Structure 1
Amino acid sequence: MDDALFARLRAGLLEGLPAEALLTDPQVTTSYATDMASFCAAGTPAAVVLPRTVEQVQHVLRTATALRVPVVPQGARTGLSGGANASDGCIVLSLVKMDRILEISAVDRIAVVEPGVVNAVLSREVARQGLYYPPDPSSWEQCTIGGNIGTASGGLCCVKYGVTAEYVLGLDVVLADGRLLRTGRRTAKGVAGYDLTRLFVGSEGSLGVVVRAVLALRPAPPRQLALAAEFPSVAAACEAVCAVMEAGLTPSLLELMDRTTVHAVNRLGKMGLPESTEALLLAAFDTPHAPEDLAAVGELCTAAGATAVVPAEDEAESELLLQARRMSFPALEALRPATMIDDVCVPRSRLGEMLDGTAAIARAQNLLIGVCAHAGDGNTHPIVCFDPADEDETRRARESFGEIMALGLSLGGTITGEHGVGVLKKEWLARELGPVGMEMQRAVKQAFDPLGLLNPGKLF
């Protein structure tokens, strides 16, 4: 950005912002350039804005449109696809200061929140009122609701409760030209017009900036009880997953960790998980009959070849198992200097093929690849661990990442179940959707953002 345009941008932004909301020191603004994804291109932002009101967001978008300056919306930057990465000369619009819980209604079973509210903060606040907000990404202690909406994120509880999209009833969105759009509803039912709310969920900030969300809540369930089952192979564990789902059981959690992940978690957290296992399956129920449900799962695991089935003795031990699963990402990241985290979801019936195929790719590429998975959803997270200082290993890591996505597509899956496309998977989106699908995607983008100013370079 040339000096004249920068001066006009700064002056224009300050007309509607307090001075402390605008950051232009390059040493500060560069710290907002990326999210947590590896190997995703990022530019240098011209400015970072931290608004506190809807009106301030509108002013930023009007100024950006007038000057034709791109805008990159951001939450806590815990994303894993480069979807929040800055582009050269952009305004980074960080929404973390808009962090108010505006309303919680036990009667309507809704919460109304600003986008900067942290997922765990909301979850704990509604729990104090006997309510439950189910979506719980692994980064729930840091990630924001706005970011969750942008990537349509999931979590450990998806097998029973579903993903973020199923809990977003309505949105207030600032469009690229600064107009405020209200979508959806706060009622239990409503089918008036096109479902624009669902359109914005998962759009990664490319269609508008979410400034308020109406979220559905549920009554708080009983505390969940869990079990751990050890298997001599990943295939046997996946057979157990299919058996559980086919039996009509509805666990609140059904998670898988392969041997590499189990070892990594033990190394990082001293969790005491069984290192002799090839795959560890965690199941939990939050029903009044949880012990009986767990016993049924235990029988199915044994029939599938489990070498040990160990129910947790109480809620505290159950929570420890969940903590071990949440530790999977940081534990694998600690094994090597860098990681590439894949997010491939396949039909549950093809889960065993997906994991066996991933292991074959790891062997062929001579790489360390650990897999943890929301097994009940078929959503796998192969994590490629490598040293970026080693050019050949880096090349093999990139190749394996693509091979894993190609494998997922060949099994009838998708390139991302919950992390989004961002920069990391742009070329793969076109392969999944095909030319007609991409044409329609671009048409939607053109309708909402004709100048292409919102989060440019993401998705396609």
Structure 2
Amino acid sequence: MKLPNLITDPDTLAGLSHDEAEWAPVGTPRAAFRPKSTEDVRQAVRACAENDVPVVPRGAGTGLSGGANAVDGCLVLDLSRMDRVLEIDRENLLAVVQPGVVNDDLKRAVAEQGLWYPPDPASSPWSTIGGNVATNAGGLCCLKYGVTRDYVLGLEAVMGGPVPYGTAVRVGRRTTKGVAGYDLTGLLVGSEGTLGVVTEITVRLRPSPRPSDTVVGAFSSLVAAGRAVAVATSRGLRPAALELIDRACLQAVEDWKHLGIEPDTEAMLLARAETSEDADGLVTAFTDAGADWTERSTDSTEAEALFAARRLTYPALERLGPLLTEDVCVPRSQVPAMLARIEEIGARHDVRIATIAHAGDGNLHPLLITPPGDDNARIAAQSAFEDIIDQALELGGTVTGEHGVGLLKRAGMIRELGPDAWAVQRAIKSSLDPLNLFNPGKA
């Protein structure tokens, strides 16, 4: 391929060839390329189409499903240098960014103008907007404010199929409303790079949020915490965030970062309430559900320490050994039952499972921890991983709430969709990417 500055150094390629998904297959790329503009991406895609070279886009590599993993002979398209905030339109509450902009960097840029970009995955200090768009990422605030798709107004993507490969196609709008044609923006969000390479994103913004109260509830078991979530939901409470953290997660963070949080309980619920009524309602719901203790605080320093612990859970546990991360989502009324089944699966397979969750919307993240180099433990963890998927589906849930399908959830997705919906998905892929050039084998 005649592209400038191709990366072929084996060590560099190895680092660009995978995301954070444990044990997901990783191929050997032919080369990598770091574009700085849409035109660079257009040239790369055109060259790959002419030479039958698959294209695997990636951002910061923080994904947890193998969606950015290389396939043999591919070109890894590292979009991290397309990192400019191109426009902030305060009057119309929108921003235009390149895909390599880090989530928290966008938040800081718009905050200077009194604005807010709500989607906030736990990886927001490192993950890119392009990666968030690829997986339709959620985060701590999605319970009240929605996920990435709710904030993407329009996109530019380099595509192929109905247009020549290497064509930059603009979809979506800048207006508050718009229903012209099919929702191609919504289709591309969450497609994990399988339909094209996103090169520009127009996002919706909100005014900066009002200060919130923090409500903490401590529980004697995971299931008891799950019951409190169900009670809060049934009473119509709408906190900005409602997170679950178990004892193992809290202990791992404290052992690593020494934040001064003593994990003296089996499970904790952590909520942000934007009204006094919601805060009072959460205290009552937690107490009625059997909390050992419940506390309401307006201390922002204390609150940030607790939410920092939530965000640090994954890297803290990763220090203990290989970590296989689940991402199932169930109806909120089924959260207690799903937590009980996760505990049973861990005991049956003799697998250590630590659990965090966006509990308010039923999105659970059991983290399966294995000793390094223990093949039997790895096999047991993989079996437990599949059992958790099956139990989530049995309870009316989905195999992924926000991490994406990638490689780890492909079989589970097919089970969830069924043959007819799966056939429709394959038809869309074939129509928009007949060469199967874009991120083949994913989603």
TM-score range, shorter chain: over 0.9
Residue 444 of structure 1 pairs with residue 432 of structure 2 = no
Q: Runs in 1 of length 4+ with deviation above 4 angstroms?
A: none
Q: What SS class does the counterpart of residue 358 from structure 1 fall into?
A: helix
- 2:380 paired residue among 389, 396, 407: 396
The runs of 5 or more residues in structure 2 that have no matched partner are none
- State the match for 1:316 in structure 2: 301
Q: What SS class does the counterpart of residue 48 from structure 1 fall into?
A: strand
The alignment covers a number of residue pairs equal to: 439
Q: CA deviation at 1:354?
A: 0.6
- State the match for 2:60 in structure 1: 76
Matching of residues 104-143 of structure 1 within 5 Å? 104-143=88-127
Deviations 1:158-192 (A, max 9, x none): 11111001000100010030011111100000000
Deviations 1:197-246 (A, max 9, x none): 00000000000000001100011111222121111222221221122222
Q: What SS class does the counterpart of residue 141 from structure 1 fall into?
A: coil
Q: CA deviation at 1:318?
A: 1.2
- State the match for 1:410 in structure 2: 394
Query: In 2, distance between residues paired with 1:241 and 1:31?
Result: 40
Q: CA deviation at 1:338?
A: 0.4
Q: What SS class does the counterpart of residue 364 from structure 2 fall into?
A: strand
Equivalent AA in structure 2 for residue 54 of structure 1 = T
- State the match for 1:293 in structure 2: 278
Equivalent AA in structure 1 for residue 10 of structure 2 = P
Q: CA deviation at 1:247?
A: 1.8
Indicate the larger mover: 197-206 or 28-37.
Answer: 28-37
- State the match for 1:378 in structure 2: 362
Residue 266 of structure 1 pairs with residue 237 of structure 2 = no
Q: What SS class does the counterpart of residue 79 from structure 1 fall into?
A: coil
Query: In 2, distance between residues paired with 1:245 and 1:31?
Result: 43
- State the match for 2:136 in structure 1: 152
Equivalent AA in structure 2 for residue 78 of structure 1 = T
Matching of residues 8-407 of structure 1 within 5 Å? 9=1, 12-14=2-4, 19=5, 22-176=6-160, 177-285=165-273, 287=274, 289-290=275-276, 292-335=277-320, 337-407=321-391
Equivalent AA in structure 2 for residue 343 of structure 1 = D
Identical residues among aligned pairs (%): 48
Query: In 2, distance between residues paired with 1:357 and 1:222?
Result: 38
Deviations 1:392-413 (A, max 9, x none): 1111111111111111111000
Q: CA deviation at 1:120?
A: 0.3
Equivalent AA in structure 2 for residue 392 of structure 1 = N
- TM-score when normalising by structure 2: 0.97
Deviations 1:402-425 (A, max 9, x none): 111111111000000000010111
2:328 touches 2:397 (CA, 8 Å); kept in 1?
yes
Q: CA deviation at 1:313?
A: 4.2
Query: In 1, distance between residues paired with 2:429 and 2:186?
Result: 14
Query: In 2, distance between residues paired with 1:243 and 1:131?
Result: 33
- TM-score when normalising by structure 1: 0.93
Aligned-pair RMSD on alpha carbons?
1.2
Equivalent AA in structure 2 for residue 331 of structure 1 = A
Query: In 2, distance between residues paired with 1:351 and 1:380?
Result: 8
Equivalent AA in structure 1 for residue 199 of structure 2 = V
Q: What SS class does the counterpart of residue 13 from structure 1 fall into?
A: coil
